[in-house]
Amino acid sequence: MDAKLIADSATVAEDSELGQPVKIYGNAVVEEKATIGKYSVVSSHSIVGANSNIGNYCTIGANSKISVDIATPQSFFSTHSFQYSSKHFKDVKNYPKKNASPDTPSPTIIGNDVWIGANVSICKGVTVGTGAIIASNSFVVEDVPAYAEVSGNPAKLVRSRFNEETISQFLNSAWWELEPKDMSDLDFQNPLESLERINSLKLHLKLKNRNSLEGELKNSVSGTNSGIIWFSTPYAYADMDALEGVNAIKVISHEPGTGPNADVLSAGIYPLAKSTYDSKRGWYRLNITSDGSQFKGKIAKNKLTFQLVTDN
């Protein structure tokens, strides 16, 4: 991808989550609490609405809108928002905001490897399955199956890209967890052959990741003020379950860095309170316990050296 990943004229909410990398073109908007997976592209003047969840390797065409709000309470006195928004009554003393808000729709979910054409609108609460294609100028009001092609206003099924058996193979492969460099020698014009090779490729990368996790590690991807240990490896994306057998870390060294709340972890064994994998960023996350309670101190980036261990 282009080194300039987010255009200067794009607007990205601070609490949105972007995978590594994501390309955002000029005048595009990513609203609060939206998540976008790695290698996805948001074209110019498009809007990714609040709370939207977009997978890896997705392409969103220009002037498209994800999570369009078209709902209004049909059984209320009026269709207008004054019924459930107190901002219309700021001049009314002691106005009690009525509990008449319409139901909040579920988040809009876009699977992996979804292609969305230009000038597409996808309504709030819609789920678009992995591998789907949304034709330009479509208005999507209903869920779209995986590997379906839809078109129109409202969007209707045109065809399925593959038969059911092949679609199942695609979904089971989860190839979108890989990096493009790992798939460079696949024959992309032969999907079935590529699918056969993906499984052996993922196993190979998983073994490489396990080898990477056996040595000394650092919190190499991010620091934190809340005691969280963030780290990754070049192959973490291929092995999301690698921490299942780990229940502690062995701290080798810890430099506190600068600033307040910079407690030092002395060398020794620290049980895990929690371990998770962030699929959007390809990072592992560890919460540890110290002296019987969860550690909350500052851990500056690249200042903690540790090993993953199983403590009996």
Catalytic residues: 80
Q: Determine the Cα–Cα distance for residues 231 and 72; give it in Å rounded to an integer.
A: 44
Question: Residue 151 forms beta bridges with which residues?
Answer: 156
Residues 6+ apart with CB under 8 A from 127: 108, 109, 111, 143, 144
Segment 20-25 long-range contacts (CB within 8 Å, at least 24 positions apart) = 20/281, 20/282, 25/62
At 230, list the tokens.
């963030």
Please give the helix or strand (H or E) that residue 218 lies within, else none: strand 217-218
DSSP per-residue codes, 257-304: -SSSS-PPPPSEEEEEEEEEEETTTTEEEEEEEETTEE--S-B-TT-E
**222: which DSSP letter?**
B
Query: Under a CB-based contact definition with an 8 Å cutoff, are residues 171 and 161 in contact?
Result: no
- Look up residue 177 and give its amino acid: E
- Look up residue 238 and give its amino acid: A
Q: Could you identify the residue written with the tokens 């910079």?
A: 262
Q: Determine the Cα–Cα distance for residues 24 and 7; give it in Å rounded to an integer.
A: 6
- Look up residue 116 and give its amino acid: I
